[in-house]
């Protein structure tokens, strides 16, 4: 199986869906294989297995991360130029690296002309998008605006990404929870 270099963009028009699906699932879920079997005329069954294991599972019997992310990946790969791909919380049930690679995948889809709208609480998703912009130069920073909605549902604030991947602003409570927690820990440990 060919692996995707996270710093190289896979042009989804270069390959067929099964190959692209293998490559993207391997990036987001290393060591996982996805296969689809025909079960009759109108039923398909998705089988998930781990590289080096003979155990195969149906998608309802695997972790929520895979079963939730798989439709996002397939929808993205099937989307055409100017189609809309609207996703809520693509980070759900994924660990940090998988979240970052999911952001990278979504940025790749946007670079092909798909209109991608993502609602996320994950700095890893945003960092994956930033990494795609900086490493591939295939998506302009202006094509990936971020809108921060404060917890009190006040006025959304636009945050931009520059060519080096820097964010223009960090409003209070925008991806600063780690800093806030560490400050509390430091204060408590000094008393």
Residue pLDDT, tens place only, 129-161: 999 999 999 999 999 999 999 888 889 999 999
Span 4-24, average pLDDT: 68
Burial 20-36 (b: 16+ CB within 10 A, else e): bbbbbbbbbbeebbbee
Q: Give the angle 88-36-62 at the CA atoms, nearest 5°.
A: 55
Phi, psi at 34, each rounded to 5°: -120, 130
The pair of structure tokens assigned to 81 is 């130029």
Q: What is the pLDDT of residues 36-45, one digit of tens each?
A: 777 777 777 7
Span 83-96, average pLDDT: 96
- 116 and 106 Cβ atoms separated by less than 8 Å: yes
DSSP annotation of 142: G
User: Which alpha helices (DSSP H) does 62-163 contain, by range?
Assistant: 64-78, 96-111, 123-136
* Per-residue pLDDT at 9: 46
Q: What is the pLDDT of residues 38-64, one digit of tens each?
A: 777 777 777 777 777 666 666 556 677
For residue 127, pLDDT beyond 80: yes
């Amino acid at each position: 199986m060919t692996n995707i270099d996270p710093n190289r963009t896979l042009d989804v028009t270069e390959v067929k869906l099964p190959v692209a699906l293998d490559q993207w699932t391997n990036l987001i879920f290393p060591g996982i294989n996805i296969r689809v079997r025909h079960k009759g005329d109108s039923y398909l069954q998705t089988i998930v297995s781990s590289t080096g294991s003979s155990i195969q599972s149906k998608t309802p019997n695997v972790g929520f991360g895979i079963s939730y992310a798989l439709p996002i990946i397939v929808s993205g790969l099937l989307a055409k130029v100017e189609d809309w791909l609207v996703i809520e919380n693509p980070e759900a049930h994924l660990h940090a690296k998988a979240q970052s690679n999911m952001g990278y995948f979504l940025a790749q889809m946007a670079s092909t002309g798909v209109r991608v709208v993502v609602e996320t609480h994950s700095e890893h998703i945003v960092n994956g998008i930033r990494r795609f912009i900086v490493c591939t130069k295939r998506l302009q920073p202006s094509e990936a605006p971020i809108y921060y909605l404060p917890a009190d549902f006040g006025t959304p604030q636009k945050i931009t990404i520059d060519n080096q991947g820097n964010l223009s602003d960090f409003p209070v409570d925008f991806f600063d929870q780690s800093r806030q927690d560490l400050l509390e820990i430091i204060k408590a440990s000094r008393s």
